[in-house]
A = this chain, B = another copy of it.
């Protein structure tokens, strides 16, 4: 680009962010979706998102939108795991103008009801299978995000992001079982998790909690580790 380049010479690009915010609720992996009130794709569900402002990065925009859509307070919103997924740039993905969208994946624990914020009518937790046709290329983004999460559970400590600050190993196992849609052997799962230094730490004050009937479970919190060595492979070769 030469010095005297005219930055207004071309049809301009807009840069947006789209968010795939996941949680585990009622034994299902659910995603936060908004209902579009206006054309195009009026009446369809869509991923929450918005445009990147002139002075902010895509990551900042994503975190701002996340706070708006989930209604989380600032300090809480900053603790949420947010990760860039991919960028979608097909020339015709938005009929209004050329929009390049940077998609992010966020993982949150089971929150109180989401607040519909910003320009979107309301935001709801929906199981991806029951979402119906999505606006734009959001079905593709959602599918990519789902694949990525499943893969990352294998070799990172990401699963704890779905859990509240204090959780039981049973809850953690349910996260894996929900995301992978498999059953895991409890004794073996337990050993694997506890054998990985820094994955989870026991809460020292002998605290316990019961999820109904059954023996009370010990409480853990997320540890400082971020990677899982060796990985926790999902059973895949077996029926």
Contacts and interface: CB of A to CB of B under 8 A. Distances in A.
Interface of A: 1-3, 5, 7-8, 10-15, 38-39, 51-52, 54-59, 84, 86-87, 89-91, 96-98, 100, 102, 155, 229-231, 233, 236-237
Q: Which 4 pairs between the two chains have the least Cβ-Cβ distance?
A: A12-B12, A58-B89, A87-B87, A57-B89
Number of identical monomers bound together in the oligomeric complex = 2
Contacts of A96: 1, 5
A86 B102 CA distance: 9
A127 to B, nearest CB: 26
Name A's interface SS: loop
Given A58-B100, A237-B229, A39 B89 contact: no
A148 to B, nearest CB: 12
Given A3-B38, A89-B102, A97-B7, A231 B231 contact: yes
A97 B5 CA distance: 10
Contacts of A38: 2-3
A100 B7 CA distance: 14
A155 B151 CA distance: 11
A87 B230 CA distance: 29
Contacts of A55: 91
Contacts of A86: 84
